[in-house]
Each structure stands twice: as C-alpha cells, then as structure tokens.
Amino acid sequence: MNKFLRTILLIPMALLLFACGGGDGDGDGVAITNPPPEELTVGVVRNLSGTVAVGAPVSATLAIVDRNGGVLTIQSDAAGQYSVDLGARPGPYLIRIVPNDNSIPVMYSYATGAGVANGTPFTTLAMLLAYGHEIEAAFIDWGVQSRLWDRKALEQKQALINANFHGELNNAAVDPLIYDFFTVPFEANHSGIDAFLDEFSVSVNWTTGEYEIRNSSNALLSLNENLDLSGYYIGAQFFPDDAAVWELSMDLTLDGVTNHVLVGFPITDPADVPWRHEHFLGEFWVEYDEVINNMPKVTCDDEPLVDCDINVTVTQFENSYEVQGSGGIGTLVLGTVAYGWSVKGWAESEGRRENIDVSADWSFSWRWLRVR
C-alpha cells in the first residue's frame, strides 16, 4: 500500500490527538474538512432521564438545548418522569422546563452528558446562584454560553444550599455532604427527597434575579452565604483525601489486542483523581466530544496525481466510570472510552486506484488505585 493510503488509514487514530489538543496539518494531497452533523453515525444510545417535581410530580414540556444549539423537546409524564435518547448531540445541555399547569413556575436543569438531570425548584435555585438570572438568554445562545459555564461553580452553590438545609436533608435520608439535586434519581412519591421538596418552595424573579424560599407554613427563609463549605463534595463517590497517594495506569486496546501505555504513575494531588463522573478527565471529554460530533471527512486537494472519495464514520462511542471502594486504601476508580470507526471509499494515487474498506475498534482504559 502506498504512502498516501497509509496516511488515509491513520486519520481515525489521529482524531485522538486532535481531541488532546494536537495540531492540524495535511500531507500527500489529503485535506480534512468538517461535514454537516448528519454525516455522523453513532451506534450507541446516549440517554438522558430524570424526574420533574415540586414535591408533587409535574407534567411539563422540557426543551433540551445541546452545545450546537439544537433543541430536543419531550414531555414528562404524570409521574414527572422523562427519558430521551440524545443521539449524537453534544453536551453540556441546558434544560428549560415549562409545566403544563401554569401556576407552577418555569424551572431549569443542566447536564454535562448522558445520565440523570432532574428538574426541581432547587435545581433552578442552584443554577440561578451559579450562573445568574439571564438563563433564558443563555438558552438562546447556548452554543457560546455553554463553553463559559463551569460545572464546579454549580456544585459549589449546591453545597451552599445543602449546608443551609443540612438537618432537613438528613431527615430526608440523604447525605447533605454529597447529595446532588441534579443527578440522583428519585420518585415524586412524597418520601425521601421528595418529602423535602414538599416542605419548601422557591420563586424567582428572572428580571431582577431575586428569589424567595418559603417553608410549608409560608414563612420566608434566607440562605446564609457565610457557612463553611469545606467537607461538602457534591456528587462524590468517595471523599478526597489530601494525604492519599494514587497510582494511575492506562491501557490501549486495538481490535482486541491490549498494550500497557502507563503503569503505576504516582498521583498525589487529590484534584487529579476524579471523585465524581464529571471530573473524570473533564476537559478531555469536552474536547473529545467536540471531535466525535464533528467527525472529519477526507477530501483530496489540488494535487494533480491524487484523487479520492473517502468517508470516515464513527460506528461506536461509549464511555464508562466506576468506583470500587469508599476512598480508603485499595479504592479503584475505573474509566474507559470505546471508539469504533470505519473508512470506506476509494483513492487513486500515481495512476493506481485502490478501494478502501477498513474498520477498527479501540478503547482506552484508566485505573486509579489508592496505595496510601
């Protein structure tokens, strides 16, 4: 196979380098362009689901806007539950919730990717505190605004809410140190966290950004913004430990053959070990998702001896995150990304034409082990 065709077949693997911040370039008469989104085929279901409730379940219209500005619309059912396949739409997602009962205020939610995104007065309040009152403007301009929002700012405001309602959340049988209003599934059945929602209401003036929190006796409550939030790790699967030492290992598997690319690399900064899914190489996932959802198409430039018609297609994209243990010595944090691709078409170089029909499946896996 000539040099030109070898270059073509290396393109899918080079996508990883683009995702990790590598440069661009061409060679041997190859140019890479970005096709319309419909040229992408993803062979996995990426589901988003959750519960909409104010204590009582809420039937509502949910508009889910993705990072490209595309909007999915779905209804929550009589139990306040919804589920939707995100397909190839890239996160993060901003969600506007308009109840069918117009006596219930509009609510908002947020998700970094597939999984759970509940909608309640307290997801709305957390977003107001984290991102300000111009959320509707952000919804309209989400392609730009999504890159400016920091998930950790949202976690910090959730920590503030949890700290102010520490006792009440304990009474609802959830741990206020880690409870995440957005991502923990629940049923609107007036027990557990839903009983907490029954006890409190939140109203927001979206013009001024002012809000009111009232209890079931209609007494006005205020948030103490000076509480100590150390020890609150919203969404944590385990509590970070400044004294811990972790070892990081990485494997690359290509068509069933595994190679160790990093074994036992010491990690001492707890911020580098993901204690929740969204912290699992978070910046990497944003860049990787950008690449996956803008899969290049190969074209040939003006090189007189080169001609081609070649398509690169994603056939699979999956990622996973798992924690084994409670954060002590021996705890494992495991993550993988699986990526399938195919290259089909033909290429003609130096007067010789060859058909191309190749595919591969590869995955990276990460393993953090606490050793001390």
What digits encode the pLDDT tens for the residues 68-115? Answer: 899 999 999 999 999 999 887 888 899 999 999 999 999 999 998 889
Please check the confidence at residue 318 and state whether its pLDDT lies above 90.
Answer: no
d(CA 19, CA 61): 35
Task: Report pLDDT for 114.
Answer: 87
Contact 186, 193 (CB under 8 A): yes
Per-residue confidence at 245, pLDDT binned at 50, 70, 90?
Answer: very high
Q: What is the 3-state secondary structure (H, E, C) of 313-353?
A: EEEEEEEEEEEECCCCCCCEEEEEEEEEEEEEEEEEECCEE
- Alpha-carbon span 75 to 227, nearest angstrom: 38
The residues, ordered by sequence, that sit 6+ positions from 369 with a Cβ below 8 Å of its Cβ are 246, 247, 249, 330, 331, 332
Task: Note the pLDDT of residue 37.
Answer: 35
Least confident among 36-45, 158-167, 177-186: 36-45
Residue 148: per-residue pLDDT: 85
**At a CB cut-off of 8 Å and minimum separation 6, what does 175 contact?**
169
What is d(CA 201, CA 47) in angstroms, rounded to the nearest whole number?
29
pLDDT of residue 344: 83
Tell me if 125 sits within 8 A of 202, measured CB to CB: yes
Q: Which has more pLDDT, 35 or 325?
A: 325
Q: Looking at the predicted structure, is the pLDDT value of residue 201 above 50? A: yes
The pLDDT of 267-287, averaged and rounded, is 79
Beta-carbon contacts of residue 145 (< 8 Å; ≥ 6 apart): 94, 137, 138
For range 292-297, the mean pLDDT: 56
Mapping DSSP to helix (H, G, I), strand (E, B) and coil, where does residue 296 land? coil
Cα–Cα distance for residue pair 83/49, rounded to 1 Å: 4
Between 116-125, 283-292, 351-360, the lowest mean confidence (pLDDT) is in 283-292
Confidence of residue 283 (pLDDT cuts 50, 70, 90): low
Query: Which range (79-83, 120-124, 280-284, 285-289) has the least confidence?
Result: 285-289
CA dist 250 and 260 (Å) reads: 6
* pLDDT exceeds cutoff 80 at 294: no
Is the pLDDT assigned to residue 65 strictly greater than 50?
Answer: yes
90: β partners? none
Look up residue 37 and give its two tokens: 């989104």
Q: What confidence category does residue 118 fall into, taking pLDDT thresholds of 50, 70 and 90?
A: very high
* 284 or 158, which is more confident: 158
Q: What is the pLDDT of residue 113?
A: 85
Give the span between the Cα atoms of 189 and 178, in whole angstroms: 22
How sure is the predictor about 184, in pLDDT bands with cuts at 50, 70 and 90? very high
Cα separation, 371 vs 247, whole angstroms: 7
Strand, coil or helix: what is 360?
strand
What's the average model confidence in pLDDT over 308-313? 76
Segment 172-197 shows an average pLDDT of: 97
278 and 269 in contact (C-beta within 8 Å)? no
Minimum mean pLDDT range among 14-28, 176-190, 219-233: 14-28
**pLDDT-based confidence at residue 299 (cuts at 50, 70, 90):** low
Report whether 184 contacts 117 (CB < 8 A).
no
Distance CA(189)–CA(57), nearest Å, equals: 8
What are the backbone angles phi and psi of residue 225, rounded to the nearest 5°?
-85, 5
* pLDDT value at 214 more than 70: yes
H-run or E-run covering 53: strand 53-54
Give the range among 33-37, 115-119, 219-223, 247-251 with minimum mean pLDDT.
33-37
CA separation (Å) from 342 to 34, 71, 158, 312, 360?
Answer: 16, 29, 43, 6, 7
Higher-pLDDT residue of 8 and 181 is 181
341, 220 contact by CB (below 8 A): no
Residue of 38 and 113 predicted with greater confidence: 113
Q: Indicate the helix (H) or strand (E) that contains 142.
A: helix 142-145
